[in-house]
């Protein structure tokens, strides 16, 4: 075995997988090509005896079968999911976890019933602040057995577009995507989208489980008057990011193709730079910008490429003026997850 890579990392890399980037040709990623990350063993859930429990600070606790959930109002949405650790393989200091480069993404057509509707039906009591979603997937970490769980602030659970999904790409969820039911929070990193749902618990306390209070957190330092101030936050919505996925020859020009990922905030512009040249505007594909929560595609025509190695890079700006940072800007911030920095791509022109 190659030195330096631990068995643990290798086992993660063999279990989990990214989306081969040529699969960007499909607006909706076929099942089996969408990125997949499972923290514990995939649980075996019997859909006939399974029920979703909605309890805690609610006037009317609910216990619902899959048929009862399917009978409720449903919505369907194309949603791009990205792992918060996408890009982790390049981040220093090195974190021992699934070593993603760029490919921990996928877009699927999910169908389910809105979370907000079920919470209304259960009638939230005063004092509630968080909604905790717990899955059937369990494992031992640090000597302690725990179920996978993540919470959403109550206002996000109500105002957001979160759904409980039972179908993907027109078929019942396959086991690896959370059969029979999973949470889907459009615009949030993959970690929020609890699979194999068993319970929704409305509570006053802040949830402090490991996947929320200990891992998937970002420590950022900002230098103010020469002093670094640190702030730690839990992973939530997708950070603004773009990358070049493909460069192909087209006659004596080259076509540069890439995508934008973010939390659904409309995009203002994407630019591409070749070597040390000026930033040049790329063209956003309007068919993809129309869909709030799915990736946006961009194209750039590169004229006059000379033989030899070149470095291409893209950067995206959203309508609020936020700009995708450079690697140097991110390093100042000591971000250990969510590497959304500009991603230079080397190409060899013959």
* Residue 73: strand, helix, or coil: coil
- The tokens describing 334, both together, are 């000591």
What CA–CA distances, in Å, run from 45 to 55, 137, 176, 179? 20, 10, 11, 7
Of 207 and 295, which has the nearer Cβ to a copy of itself? 295
Of 13 and 116, which has the nearer Cβ to a copy of itself? 13
Of 248 and 320, which has the nearer Cβ to a copy of itself? 248
How crowded is the C-beta side of 180, counted as CA atoms within 13 Å? Answer: 17
Of 60 and 346, which has the nearer Cβ to a copy of itself? 346
Could you tell me the smallest distance in angstroms from the CB atom of residue 83 to a copy of itself?
11
Could you tell me the smallest distance in angstroms from the CB atom of residue 293 to a copy of itself?
22
Of 200 and 245, which has the nearer Cβ to a copy of itself? 245
Of 153 and 174, which has the nearer Cβ to a copy of itself? 174
299 forms bridges with which residues in the sheet?
257, 283
Could you tell me the smallest distance in angstroms from the CB atom of residue 68 to a copy of itself?
25
DSSP-derived secondary structure for 287-319? HHHTSTTS-EEEEEEEESPPSEEEEEEEEEEET
Q: How far apart are CA 25 and CA 316, in angstroms?
A: 21
Nearest to residue 323, comparing CAs of 269, 249, 256, 279?
269
Residue identified by tokens 């309007």 is: 286
Could you tell me the smallest distance in angstroms from the CB atom of residue 100 to a copy of itself?
6
Q: Which residues in this chain contact a copy of itself in the complex, by CB under 8 A?
A: 1-7, 9-11, 13-18, 20, 22-23, 25-26, 30-34, 36, 38, 41-42, 44, 89-90, 94, 99-101, 103-104, 174-177
Could you tell me the smallest distance in angstroms from the CB atom of residue 191 to a copy of itself?
18
Burial (CB < 10 A; 0-12, 13-18, 19+), residue 273, is middle
Could you tell me the smallest distance in angstroms from the CB atom of residue 28 to a copy of itself?
12
Of 86 and 237, which has the nearer Cβ to a copy of itself? 86
Could you tell me the smallest distance in angstroms from the CB atom of residue 117 to a copy of itself?
29
Could you tell me the smallest distance in angstroms from the CB atom of residue 32 to a copy of itself?
4
Could you tell me the smallest distance in angstroms from the CB atom of residue 56 to a copy of itself?
30
Q: How far apart are CA 314 and CA 324, in angstroms?
A: 9
Cis peptide before 150 (omega within 30 of 0): no
In contact, 212 and 105? CB cutoff 8 Å:
no
Of 117 and 175, which has the nearer Cβ to a copy of itself? 175
Of 224 and 348, which has the nearer Cβ to a copy of itself? 348
Residues contacting 163, CB < 8 A, separation 6+: 75, 77, 110, 112, 113, 114, 115, 183, 184
Instruction: Return the CA Rg of the chain.
Output: 21
Nearest to residue 296, comparing CAs of 24, 5, 72?
24
């Amino acid at each position: 075995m190659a030195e330096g890579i631990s068995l643990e990392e290798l086992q993660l890399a063999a279990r989990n997988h990214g989306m081969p980037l040529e699969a960007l040709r499909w607006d909706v990623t076929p099942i089996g090509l969408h990125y997949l990350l499972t923290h514990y063993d995939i649980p075996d859930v019997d859909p006939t005896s399974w029920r979703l429990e909605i309890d805690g600070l609610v006037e009317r606790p609910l216990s619902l079968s899959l048929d009862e959930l399917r009978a409720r109002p449903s919505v369907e949405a194309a949603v791009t999911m990205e792992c918060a650790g996408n890009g982790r393989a390049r981040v220093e200091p090195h974190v021992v976890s699934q070593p993603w480069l760029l490919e921990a993404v996928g877009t699927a057509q999910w169908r389910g019933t809105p979370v907000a509707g079920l919470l209304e039906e259960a009638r939230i009591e005063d004092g509630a602040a968080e909604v905790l979603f717990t899955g059937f997937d369990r494992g031992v970490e640090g000597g302690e057995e725990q179920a996978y769980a993540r919470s959403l602030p109550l206002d996000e659970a109500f105002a957001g577009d979160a759904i409980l999904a039972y179908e993907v790409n027109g078929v019942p969820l396959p086991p690896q995507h959370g059969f029979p039911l999973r949470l889907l929070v459009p615009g949030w990193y993959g970690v929020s989208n609890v699979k194999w749902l068993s319970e929704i618990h409305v509570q006053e306390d802040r949830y402090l489980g490991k996947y929320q209070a200990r891992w998937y957190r970002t420590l950022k330092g900002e230098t103010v008057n020469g002093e670094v101030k640190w702030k730690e936050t839990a992973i939530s919505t997708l950070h603004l990011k773009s990358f070049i996925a493909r460069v192909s020859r087209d006659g004596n020009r080259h076509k540069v193709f890439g995508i934008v990922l973010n939390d659904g905030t409309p995009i203002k512009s994407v630019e591409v730079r070749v070597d040390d040249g000026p930033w040049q505007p790329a063209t956003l594909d309007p068919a993809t910008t129309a869909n709030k929560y799915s990736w946006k595609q961009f194209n750039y025509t590169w004229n006059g490429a000379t033989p030899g190695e070149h470095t291409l890079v893209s950067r995206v700006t959203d309508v609020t003026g936020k700009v995708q940072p450079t690697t140097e800007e991110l390093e100042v911030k000591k971000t250990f997850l969510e590497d959304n920095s500009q991603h230079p791509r080397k190409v060899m022109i013959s």
